[in-house]
Amino acid sequence: MLNKLLLDFAQWMDAQPWSSSLHESFYLFNWLETTHVMTLMLSLGMLVVIDLRMLGWIMPTVPASKIADRLFVPMIIGFSIMVITGVWLFTAIPIRYTQSIWFRIKLILLFAAFINAVLFHRHLKASAGSWDTAPKPPKRTRTAAALSLSLWAGVVICGRFIAYDWYDCGKDGNSAFINWAAGCIAELPAE
């Protein structure tokens, strides 16, 4: 049911003139893709520094809240532009993305990373001053930072895998689970 609704929406979007124009535009699509990757590097670069400090691996003499406060704005700017360009990229090839197992995993990991970031930010603000200058932060902080790094590594890997069609809908050899997870709704030939 959900897969059918998603595919119907993707087909509607794909039929719009702006979607085709964006996909067929050599320069605009490439500029969007480049901007998406560059802002990913900006955003994740800031996040990695924050997470490594929260793990206690770098800059142990600098207060963790000071690092987080200084890098938060560029990280959010990069993340915001990354999301906007990602949505535009999706609108250019909606059917392909809607039926990509890698895109679906990426979205799940993005959602999990967002939840982790919100909880982590609350924890950081609530506990500011109690461990801020400690070279080794509390276990909960280190766990959240490690989870953040892992989730974002998964997002980047899945984002890169979207370009490959290993598990595209209708491919021979896909298991029923892969076809379901990728959002395939067409009946496959009986084996």
Going from N- to C-terminal start, the domains of the chain cover: 2-181
Mean pLDDT for 154-162 is 95
Exposed/middle/buried for residue 103 (C-beta within 10 Å: 0-12, 13-18, 19+): buried
* pTM given for the model: 0.88
Closest alpha carbon to 155 in 118, 84, 102, 117: 102
Question: Which of 116, 120, 7, 99 has the alpha carbon at shortest distance from 53?
Answer: 120
Using the predicted structure, report yes or no on whether residue 187 has a pLDDT greater than 60. no
**Residue partners of 184: CB distance under 8 A and separation at least 6:** 3, 99, 169, 170, 174
Q: For residue range 87-117, list pLDDT tens digits in order.
A: 999 999 999 999 999 999 999 999 999 999 9
